[in-house]
């Protein structure tokens, strides 16, 4: 479900291995694998399964976006407002007859630091990338209610948001590494909790 593609061809493998993106990929590999395994066999062509998937996503994504909205000025990419997908996700749920996640996930005890914000965004933007694969499954549904309510999975289509995020991430200071890993692991933990609680 959450996907992070490999290196850009123009960058050497050794350089990628040393940058923040490579560090985050390695630090979250186990959590990423657990999350993907949890969705294995989940047929998004089925309306109930698709609705359960969206509810689980909303239970993590909506509070994560709310946390990021509290981050200090300059902690997020300039186009952050256009990257938010919570409204699209809730619109899909409403159209399918779901009120949304059953209860909000606990918020951070304080606004995320700049490094933590980078880690949270790494997971959210990776989930957008993975959503491109899931969109194909939803669009193959025989149920028009599934096919017609893919605002969340389509969000940012054609805008090259991953590559612009990767460029922004590459500009973060080296000292952001530990905090970014903390933020990314927290985001994965929220997605895993939401996945386990899905109907």
Q: What is the pLDDT of residues 152-163, one digit of tens each?
A: 999 999 899 999
Predicted local confidence at residue 73, as pLDDT: 87
Question: Residue 118 above 70 pLDDT?
Answer: yes
Predicted local confidence at residue 1, as pLDDT: 57
Predicted local confidence at residue 17, as pLDDT: 38
Predicted local confidence at residue 18, as pLDDT: 53
pTM of the model: 0.86
Question: Are 118 and 126 within 8 A, CB to CB?
Answer: no
- Average confidence (pLDDT) over 79-83: 95
3-state SS track over 52-64 = HHHHHHHHHHHHH
Worst-scoring range by mean pLDDT, 5-9, 60-64, 145-149? 5-9
Question: Are 168 and 117 within 8 A, CB to CB?
Answer: no
Q: Which long-range contacts (CB under 8 A, 24 or more apart) does 105-109 make?
A: 105/59, 105/60, 105/63, 105/64, 105/190, 105/193, 105/194, 106/63, 107/63, 107/66, 107/67, 108/67, 108/186
Question: Residue 107 above 60 pLDDT?
Answer: yes
**Cα angle value 129/131/135 (rounded, 5°):** 135
Please tell me the distance from the alpha carbon of residue 48 to that of residue 85, in angstroms, as a whole number: 21
pLDDT tens-digit map of 144-190: 999 999 999 999 998 999 999 999 999 999 889 999 999 999 999 99
State whether residue 136 is helix, strand or coil. Answer: helix
């Amino acid at each position: 479900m959450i996907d992070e593609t490999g290196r850009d061809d123009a960058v050497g493998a050794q350089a990628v291995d040393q940058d923040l993106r490579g560090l985050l990929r390695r630090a979250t590999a186990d959590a990423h694998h657990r999350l993907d395994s949890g969705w294995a066999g989940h047929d998004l062509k089925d309306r109930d399964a698709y609705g359960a998937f969206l509810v689980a996503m909303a239970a993590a994504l909506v509070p994560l976006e709310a946390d990021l909205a509290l981050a200090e000025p300059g902690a997020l990419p300039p186009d952050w407002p256009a990257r938010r997908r919570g409204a699209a996700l809730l619109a899909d749920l409403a159209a399918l007859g779901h009120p949304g996640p059953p209860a909000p996930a606990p918020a951070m005890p304080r606004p995320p630091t700049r490094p933590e914000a980078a880690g949270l965004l790494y997971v959210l933007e990776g989930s957008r990338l993975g959503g491109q694969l899931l969109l194909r499954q939803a669009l193959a549904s025989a149920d028009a209610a599934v096919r017609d309510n893919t605002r969340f999975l389509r969000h940012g289509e054609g805008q090259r948001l991953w590559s612009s995020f990767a460029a922004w991430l590459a500009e973060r200071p080296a000292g952001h590494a530990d905090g970014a890993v903390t933020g990314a692991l927290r985001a994965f933990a929220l997605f895993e909790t939401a996945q386990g609680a899905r109907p």
